[in-house]
Amino acid sequence: MKKIFLLSALFITFGANGATPWWLQPTVCRLNPTNCYAAMGTGFDSEMWDASANCWGLKLICPEALTPPSAIPVAMGRNDIKKGTKINPDYDTDILSLDGECFGRRKTNNGGAMVSVNGKYVNVYCPGILNNPDEVIENGEIMHNKQPTCSDLAKNGYIAVENGDCYGKYYDNAKYFIECGTDLLPKRLIVLNGADYNAPAYGTPATMDEARQKFDKMYTTSKNQHNKFFKE
């Protein structure tokens, strides 16, 4: 009789909830899905328990996005990530790394042409422009501390103008003279009109100051002629 009674009880239980999946029935203990990640693929450790969020699954934070940086990605809970106490504020932990193994990429601005370094946005220079970059990223290269000056860039024929998703436009030193001032962008860009550097150097300026004076005189003459003959 006991066996018959037990089978009857099971039939009544499953009959009442037959249309409801077992994991949604009120008698089954389950986690609250609102605390969990909607989906976990690359960049997650889905086998670990997140005690801070009462949920399965930890996010893998990239080594360079941590403070101090680590040797390998570190699994962190949602509440710990939200507090951000061990995360470098220059990094966005909602974005996967380029290799897709962890979360954390430098925060960007201006379409990726600028990134956050030490709390400030700096220019990303196109590949090959900087002599000794501190870091190579997706769009180009950056310096962490001292940023390049106009003179630094002009030595190699570059000026710091936006060039797509990075900075740096090349001007051939044989065709242009880049005159720097106090700002990052040049004070003037002077076209040399095909000057032949192999020609005998008669009467050429001996110093940079003499060259600037000569260019200033040429510029003033050209401006006066323009005002005289090209009136609005």
Indicate whether 7 pLDDT > 50: no
Contact criterion met (CB below 8 Å) for 130 and 143 = yes
- Summarize pLDDT for 185-221 with one digit per residue, the tens: 999 888 887 656 566 666 677 788 888 888 888 888 8
Burial status of residue 167 (CB atoms within 10 A of its CB: 0-12, 13-18, 19 or more) = buried
Q: What is the pLDDT of residue 14?
A: 45
Mean pLDDT lowest among 148-157, 179-188, 222-231? 222-231
Q: What is the pLDDT of residue 219?
A: 82
Residues 6+ apart with CB under 8 A from 55: 31, 32, 35, 36, 37, 49, 78
Rounded to an integer, what distance in angstroms lies between the CA atom of residue 110 and that of residue 116? Answer: 11
- Summarize pLDDT for 48-75 with one digit per residue, the tens: 888 888 888 899 999 999 999 999 999 9
Q: What is the pLDDT of residue 86?
A: 93
pLDDT > 90 in the chain, percent: 51
Confidence of residue 97 (pLDDT cuts 50, 70, 90): very high
Average pLDDT of the chain, as a whole number = 83
Indicate whether 166 pLDDT > 70: yes
Average pLDDT, stretch 105-126?
95
- Summarize pLDDT for 120-150 with one digit per residue, the tens: 999 999 999 999 999 999 999 999 999 999 9
C-alpha distances out from residue 67 to 96, 135, 227, Å: 18, 17, 60
* φ, ψ at 174 (rounded to 5°): -80, -15
Average pLDDT, stretch 154-162?
95
3-state secondary structure 44-109: EEEEEEECCCCEEEEEEECHHHECCCCCCCEEECHHHHHHCCCECCCEEEEEECCCCCCEEEECEE
* Residue with more model confidence, 13 or 225: 225
What single DSSP character describes residue 125? B
Confidence of residue 230 (pLDDT cuts 50, 70, 90): low
- Summarize pLDDT for 27-44 with one digit per residue, the tens: 655 555 566 788 888 999
